[in-house]
Amino acid sequence: MKRLFFYRFSCVFLTLVFFSCETDYLDRPPEDQLDAEFFFNTPKDLEVATNDFYTMLSGHNVYTEDEDSDNIVPLIAADRVRGSRIIPTNRGSGGWSWGRLRDINYFLENYDKVDDEAAKRHYSGVARFFRAYFYFQKVKSFGDVPWHNKVLNAGDEDLYKSRDPRELVMDSVLADINYAVNNIPDKKELNKITKSTALLLKARIALYEGTLRKYHGIGGYEKFLNESISASEELMNAGKYTLYASGGPGAAYRNLFSRNNQDEVETILAQDFDREKATHNLGYLMTAPTQGAWGLPKDLVNSYLNKNGTRFTDLPNYDTMGYYEEMQNRDPRLTQSTAGPNFVVNGESAAEPVTLAGTTTGYRVIKGLPSKDQWSGAYFDLIIFRYAEALLIYAEAKAELGTITQADLDKSINVLRDRVAMPHLKLAAANSNPDQYLENLYPNVAQGQNKGVILEIRRERRIELFNEGLRWDDLMRWKEGQKIEQPMLGIYFSGLGSYDFNNDGIADVYLHNGDASGAPSSVTSLINIQQRPLTNGTSGNLNPFSYGGSFDENKDYYYPLPLEDLALNPNLTQNPNW
């Protein structure tokens, strides 16, 4: 029987422990002691209490967060991409919510009542993992925040404290995640937090903080990059995980995400779903033309290397190449992330008819796309943490710190390339000839001797972690927010008329200007350029986001605080320029 990742408890039961599933901590009653005495008695009590913390994890948002970045162009762009975020009004809104922190601190003040040392180490480690995770999300969103490591009740003066310095908060986060690493059991559990999960979260947090400090001009970045290296390297050296390779270079990457049941080969933590017990809607979002209609942008498609390891963007006609031609002889992850010619859905034997109706850019997202029986209600497991990220973190931290060697690349980036039979990244070659196309995508990249390899690692990270919810954070920490303002375009068309997308001699797509009467009967996709414009009138790239993104360098790296919270706590200040 499959284990459930998120245990479901009734709000009535949890009231015994946490008093309320929704109420903000300012309004919760202070009489905690009797309930703690009643509940915190056995190791099972600790397990039950910490199970509720798992709902803090991203879940299916891992696979939807990229549509709020430059990685996926949806039907309707997110507020943060359009530059239309507004200051929230209500207390606790806009992400400025602290109820889950109180739950964690309440647990940490009471777990010690249990008379089982191993259980106390284990579950206090899990709780501190989630406190580190909680504060990591807050710091990413708001910058400096108040640090609370105790339960706050009515009348507590710390309810109205000001923000603590970033240094204090992030050092405290580091202490929490180190405690988790040192106390959570070192074993594989696909649906539970383990030491390996904690190591990967530590590596992710420290890479984020280190590179953000470096690119935003905040001191102390070296310490965090070194912490990131040590955590990722410890996970790599432990030898517990490797890359999933079933299906070979042409299928393994896609199979990793689209299979129904995850295993413990590469996947460190997954959310478990079951047809009879728990489903999600990702199959629907990825296939319904009126919902997500997700499409990869052209600059992402351009970033995939040629199969021989050369740059696609070094080809003289890369920007006007037709669809079939541009999909040939590329990094195999390209057509395992977007539907290439003769795309076959999982579980089917025949190729899908060419259809551009369900994708804004023409580059349909298929990473994680399940079998057709799951397009209305999906039950495939969702990966939350996987080993490949540790390899990318290790390489990037080493490159940004200036200590990377060819041996480092060979045990990190080149392991990822081996899975898809791509040529290895060579340090000397990358640094001697940095990719100008990538430089234009990331103009703020460090200009030192490792610029070329840093750009190549960013290429690898974007490709390998596409549609896994990390892209926005990457742009924020690299101080590349204005990347959002670069055009997010689709497939190139040389003009009106018929196109053969799979090179079988039969037309699949027909572009017209309001009159489709000339379309051959074989056509499966009609595009009216009056409704789906091209960049150059009757030719050019599909341009689904013609008004473009907007990013204010002076304020948009952080979110605004709610007005009611500012009014209730005069010691809080709004983020700059909001």
Helix or strand holding residue 384 (H, E): strand 382-386
Pairwise CA distance, residues 298 & 321, whole Å: 11
Pairwise CA distance, residues 229 & 231, whole Å: 6
Q: What helix, strand, coil percent values describe the chain, rounded to 5? A: 45, 5, 50
Pairwise CA distance, residues 283 & 376, whole Å: 6
User: What is the rounded (10 degree) CA torsion for 325, 331, 337, 341?
Assistant: 30
Q: Where are the alpha helices (DSSP H) in 386-496?
A: 387-401, 406-410, 413-419, 427-432, 436-441, 451-464, 471-477
Closest CA to 297 of 451, 440, 457, 483: 483
Pairwise CA distance, residues 511 & 542, whole Å: 11
**Which DSSP category does 564 fall into?**
H
Query: Tokens 């050296």 appear where?
Result: 237
Q: What is the pLDDT of residue 38?
A: 65
- Write out the two tokens for 566: 């500012």
Closest CA to 97 of 62, 141, 129: 141
Helix or strand holding residue 271 (H, E): strand 267-271
Q: Model-level pTM?
A: 0.93
- pLDDT beneath 50, residues of the chain: 1-34
User: What is the rounded (10 degree) CA torsion for 557, 563, 567, 570?
Assistant: 0
Q: What is the pLDDT of residue 288?
A: 84
User: What is the rounded (10 degree) CA torsion for 234, 449, 473, 252?
Assistant: -60
Question: Is 188-272+297-336+381-478 CATH 1.20.1530.20?
Answer: no
Q: What is the pLDDT of residue 37?
A: 63
**Which DSSP category does 2 fall into?**
P
Closest CA to 59 of 218, 280, 220: 280
Instruction: Judge whether 268 and 194 are in contact, CB under 8 Å.
Output: yes
Q: Which residues of 39-65 are buried (b: 16+ CB within 10 A; e: fewer)?
A: bbeebebbebbbbbbbeebbbbebbbb
The 10s digit of each residue's pLDDT in 28-59 is 444 444 466 668 999 999 999 999 999 999 77
**Which DSSP category does 63 fall into?**
G
How many alpha carbons lie under 13 Å from residue 218 in its C-beta half-sphere?
19
Query: Tokens 């990825």 appear where?
Result: 286
- Domain range summary for the chain, segments of one domain joined by +: 188-272+297-336+381-478
**Strand locations in 272-313 (E):** none
Q: What is the pLDDT of residue 154?
A: 86
Pairwise CA distance, residues 77 & 68, whole Å: 7
Q: What is the pLDDT of residue 35?
A: 65
The 10s digit of each residue's pLDDT in 3-36 is 434 333 333 333 333 333 333 433 444 444 446 6
Pairwise CA distance, residues 184 & 163, whole Å: 30
